[in-house]
Amino acid sequence: MPDLQAARGAPLSASRRHGGPPTGATVGEAPGSATAEPRSRATGLALGVGLVGLVVDQATKVLAVRELTGREPVQVVGSWFELVLVRNPGAAFSAGASVTPVISVIAIVATVVVLWQVRRVRHRAWALALGLLLAGVTGNLVDRLLRPPGPLRGHVVDFFALPNWPVFNVADICINVAGALLVLLLFRGINPDGTRHDATAGGTR
């Protein structure tokens, strides 16, 4: 009986000596990563963050239009932070105001690309970053699709004002935070699946 048990245990021991996955490892988990999440959980996190960000963005825009239309800038922290209603037909810094439909199409393509990446993410920070990016892109896209003067030509509602900076909204904040987080993740060599890329070794671990 002991011989039989030893024989049964031999493959497991050999697997551990040669770097095989431990007992109970889930098939498809990223190897060599302590931060990888189950794909469904990471995807759920990204979509949840995206939905919450979108709702907050649209809710604050509705309030801004209702409370700030026709009013002078409202000072929150003196002249350092004000609330002022601006309808932006272009992109950042009001660039591209004459090609709003093109910007709308680019935003639609960006939304599809982000959703595709969300399906593959396995890392919590990547899920958070993609969720914020999704919230920002879709938040401004909803304005372009549904607000006057018409579909694909709608003006984005902005209302946060800082000195020497373009007026912005919650969606813009989400996009900028997502961008900073993605740069940090790439700088640290963390891949969307939770593995790390070693630039000096030229591989992943």
Give the residue among 141, 98, 134, 117 at the shortest CA–CA distance from 193: 117
Beta strands (DSSP E) in the chain are 74-77, 81-88, 156-161, 197-198, 203-204
Q: Could you tell me how many helices (H) and strands (E) the chain has, helices first?
A: 5, 5
What DSSP assignment string belongs to 130-163?
Answer: HHHHHHHHHHHHHHHHHSTT-TTTPPEEEEEE-T
Contact at 8 Å (CB) between 118 and 130?
yes
Annotated catalytic residue, options 3, 57, 143, 158? 158
Annotation marks residue 158 as catalytic: yes
From first CA to last CA, the distance across the chain in angstroms is 40
Task: Output the six-digit token pair for 81.
Answer: 């932070």
Annotated catalytic residue, options 57, 172, 193, 198? 172
Annotation marks residue 57 as catalytic: no
Contact at 8 Å (CB) between 169 and 159?
yes
Which of the 8 DSSP states describes residue 22? P
Active site members: 158, 172
